[in-house]
Amino acid sequence: MIKDIYNGNINVENLPIELYNSTANKLLSGVEAGAKIDYINFEFGELGKETALLLRENVYLFSGAKTFNYVLETQNLIIRDDKIIPYKEFEQLALEVDEKFNKRWLQVEYNDAQISAKNKLDWQNLQNSQDAFPLLRYVAFMDKNTSEICRRLNGIVKPTNSDFWVKYKPQNHYQCRCDLEPLQENEAVETNLKAKTLIEPTPYFSNLDNDTIFNKLHPYFDVDKKYKAYAKENFNLPIPKLNEQSS
């Protein structure tokens, strides 16, 4: 693939569909693990078909944006000081970009997909049981690695239907290990937030849209204005029908 980028066979206007599909499949496997679903066998579990398909579409859109950014960054290495650099020099630089996008960051994104999908399933179940459990308590996993965001949220109790959770339900940062504990009305008292100084969640993990794994604030989606229309078409990369999903 690196040689094809150098030769111009792959570029931002002709993205590698094999990489796009393999990226999407990797991330979808994270969604499946987190939400206990199976796309290939049309098993949508408690998450439900509608939500599962919306998450799948979001993963493909994210994978398209990721593939575009990878090719763009690699392609931009070819020219230096208005000259084409030798292939061997380009190859070394391009391998570093490949390692970053398609190994290190992909694993991070897989972890995010798994955690986010689990949290969406948990949140759906909490909402469905709010008659029995009208309160929720934020439970942070407390150790030396606990983020300051979650340390300050730990122990907060709010009604299950409170707008507070729209912003602060897990995950609130990368690798957030927190949960929400359902409580009956007589088990706790609502927290007075005036006594709390909270920290804004990491924007990439904004909870405002429950039908996405990767929200619109992710840097991959922030393309130059000349590519905006192209991005709206998912960079001309097809989202396969479920029964056509690439292996």
**DSSP assignment of the chain, as one string?**
-HHHHHHTSSBTTB--HHHHHHHHHHHHHHHHHHHT-BTTTTB-GGG-HHHHHHHHHHHHHHHHHHHHHHHHHHHTTSEETTEEPPHHHHHHHHHHHHHIIIIIHHHHHHHHHHHHHHHHHHHHHHHHTTTT--EEEEE---STT--HHHHHHTT-EEETT-THHHHHSSP-STT---EEEEE-GGG-----GGG----PPPGGG--S-TT-SS-TTSGGG---GGGHHHHHTGGG-----GGG---
pLDDT band at 233 (very low <50, low <70, confident <90, very high): very high
Is the pLDDT assigned to residue 222 strictly greater than 60?
Answer: yes
Q: What is the pTM of this model?
A: 0.91
Report the percentage of the chain scoring pLDDT > 90.
87
pLDDT of residue 204: 77
Residue 207's pLDDT is 66
Count of helix runs (H) and strand runs (E) in the chain: 8, 5
Which pLDDT belongs to residue 76?
Answer: 97
Express each pLDDT in 28-83 by its tens digit.
999 999 999 999 999 999 999 999 999 999 999 999 999 999 999 999 999 999 99
pLDDT for the residue 175:
82
Q: What are 144-179's pLDDT values in tens digits?
A: 989 999 999 999 999 999 999 989 999 888 888 899
Question: In this predicted structure, what is the pLDDT of residue 195?
Answer: 83
pLDDT recorded at residue 211: 86
Q: Residue 246 above 90 pLDDT?
A: no
- Report, as an integer, the average pLDDT of 140-145: 91
The pLDDT assigned to 18 comes to 98
